[in-house]
Amino acid sequence: MAVRADFHMHSCHSGDGNIPMEEMIRQAVSAGMEWICFTEHQDFDYPAIPDMPEDLFLLDTGAYVRDLLRCREQFAEKIRIGFGVELGLQPHLAAKHKQYVRTSQFDFVIASSHICHRRDPYYPSFYAGRSEEEAYREYFHSVLENIRSFEEFDVYGHLDYVVRYGPSKDREYTYEAYRDILDQILLSLVQAGKGLELNTGGLKQGLREPNPCRAILRRYRALGGEIITVGSDAHTPDAVGYEFDKAAEILRDCGFSYYATFEERTPKYHKL
């Protein structure tokens, strides 16, 4: 396996996870991973969901740290375990996110767009009453808004996350159809020295390609982007390291020779 570092994983410390850290770690060891990073969800001001706790996606950072330190000691001879977070960006939260990141001493920060103008693309209501293209475009414009309002992150996660849940998924989706806005996003990332994540979670859910698609990855590389991490977005053990061999092939095809890991917010490069 060319990629032996899964840098997007969740456990019971994420609002949408219920698997103990130990189980995720044991599976990572079994799968041949040498380095993993938990990136638990932190979504401040997540819109209320009927019949769900208001604090569903608020991370108890203290409890998370204590559990992670215990697991680091338990598995010290078997695998490296990074301390990461997946921040659900919204422009009005930029100052709050900045303070949170600067006081938490993370190894790695993924910026993600889970909420688009107070709505979650996970739900069908986001697409109701308009074309799929209109919905996707609104989402991509919100990503650009987030990048322009907040810079305290290392990579942007699952950049075209919206296609996981659109009416036709990625069957009719292409980079070329959204080139105008996607190029603005990619140029902003490159100019700010930020990375992209190749996320295999979409493949696990039946998409044709990972998030983002290979055309976006290729374009990021052509624009001078160099920082690329690989993550499964695993919430359960069976997803850890999912299709990482395919991920390596895609990265090589897109012009990458290395993938990155992070320690103390500093990238380290590993040959594919």
The residue with greater pLDDT, 52 or 149, is 149
Q: How many domains in the chain?
A: 1
Q: Token pair 């020779």 is at which residue? A: 257
Record the tokens describing residue 55, joined without a space. Answer: 């604090």
For 5, 24, 133, 229, the CA distances from 79, given in Å and listed in that order, are 10, 12, 43, 18
224-253 confidence digits (pLDDT tens): 999 999 999 999 999 999 999 999 999 999
Q: Is the pLDDT of residue 176 over 80?
A: yes
73-121 confidence digits (pLDDT tens): 999 999 999 999 999 999 999 999 999 999 999 999 999 999 999 999 9
Distance from C-alpha of 259 to C-alpha of 89, rounded to nearest angstrom: 24
Nearest alpha carbon to residue 186 among 150, 152, 226:
226
Kindly indicate the confidence band of residue 49, based on its pLDDT and cuts at 50, 70 and 90: confident
Query: Residue 233 in contact with residue 197, Cβ under 8 Å?
Result: no
Q: What was the pLDDT predicted at 143?
A: 98
Q: What is the CATH number of the domain that holds 178?
A: 3.20.20.140
Q: What was the pLDDT predicted at 242?
A: 97
Q: Which range has the worst mean pLDDT, 4-18, 20-34, 44-58, 225-239?
A: 44-58
Distance from C-alpha of 3 to C-alpha of 25, rounded to nearest angstrom: 16
Q: What was the pLDDT predicted at 53?
A: 82
Quote the domain boundaries for residue 59: 5-271
Residues 6+ apart with CB under 8 A from 76: none
123-175 confidence digits (pLDDT tens): 999 999 999 999 999 999 999 999 999 999 999 999 999 999 999 999 999 99
